[in-house]
Amino acid sequence: MRMYRLKFLLYLFFLPALLTAGRPPGGEDDILRPVPFTLHVGPYAGAAWIASNGTFETLCQCEYSGGNGLGFQLGVFADYPLTRDVSLMATLGLRTMHPSFDKKQTRIEFIQFPPEDGDFTNVDFELETVLQMMFIELGVYGRWQLPVRGLYFAAGGEFGFVIDDNIRETERILTPGIAYDLGGGTEQTSMDDPLSRYYDDTGYRLAAAVKLGYIIPITETISIAPEAGLSFPLTPIVSNFQDWRQSAFQANVFLRFAI
């Protein structure tokens, strides 16, 4: 009887081990366990090719269409995971855009010859207008992890508030032997002030953006993510010319810290 009781007690003691002996590591508990999400934050920086679309006029009633230039970005971001493959990403930073526009034209001008002679003649001019804009910009995006490990796609919206802008128009005489003054100057500036002096400027920029990036691990908690994307404008630069807008083909690098 004592031997039977001893066997029964040993059986109860080892019962949990016998029931789990054939279960593989992890088992169903791993399936039900929440995914260990990780918040990533850090700085980012990059450059962009600015493509200006649409037409606008300057003080001399000179019409420009299309222009290109460079832009730069610098700021911070936070990437908050919602699921294993989807996260919400926000950026806050400084963006600059510097497109330039140029054209040539011929005008009939009265040219005075010393001492008092003069005549009307065709004069060739080259005009250049440079636009400079600086924004504080907030971006909010949905980010999706693609099947290729580390590769992701993001899409969202950007709102930029203009903190500084300037438009400068320079005119140069190309016809030899003709100058603006007796000193021989062939260049003069007709505009060099903030946009608000000449136009009804909007003061902000709203855009839709798409991005493609790749996360490269450096350590367990640090990674970098080069990213290419397009920022497409939804609002004009000034309300006077609704189709005058700026797109940005951009390349950024994110330094990601897991916290």
> Of residues 9 and 77, which shows the higher confidence score?
77
pLDDT at 42: 98
Range 12-39 average pLDDT: 49
The full DSSP string for the chain is: -HHHHHHHHHHHHHHHHHHHTTSPSSHHHHHHSPP----EEEEEEEEEEEEEEEEEE-TT--EEEEEEEEEEEEEEEEEEESSSSEEEEEEEEEEEEEEEEEEEEEEEEEEEETTTEEEEEEEEEEEEEEEEEEEEEEEEEEEEE-SSTTEEEEEEEEEEEEEEEEEEEEEEE-STT--SSTT---EEEEEEE-GGGTS-B--EEEEEEEEEEE-EESSSSEEEEEEEEEEEESS-SBTTBTT-EEEEEEEEEEEEEE-
- pLDDT above 50 (res 30): no
What is the Cα–Cα distance from 3 to 195, expressed in whole angstroms?
Answer: 99
pLDDT at 119: 80
Q: What is the pLDDT of residues 80-107, one digit of tens each?
A: 999 989 999 999 999 999 999 999 988 8
Highest mean pLDDT among 25-29, 37-41, 66-70: 66-70
Question: Exposed, middle or buried, 212 (CB in 10 Å: 0-12/13-18/19+)?
Answer: middle
Q: What is the pLDDT of residues 213-249, one digit of tens each?
A: 999 999 999 999 999 999 999 999 999 999 999 999 9
- pLDDT above 90 (res 168): yes
Domain ranges of the chain: 62-70+99-133+169-203
pLDDT bin (cut points 50, 70, 90) of residue 177 is: confident
Least confident of 19-33, 99-113, 125-139, 157-171: 19-33
Q: What is the pLDDT of residues 145-159, one digit of tens each?
A: 999 999 999 999 999
Residue 180 CB: number of other CB atoms within 10 A?
13
pLDDT at 105: 86
pLDDT bin (cut points 50, 70, 90) of residue 127 is: very high
**pTM > 0.85: yes or no:** no
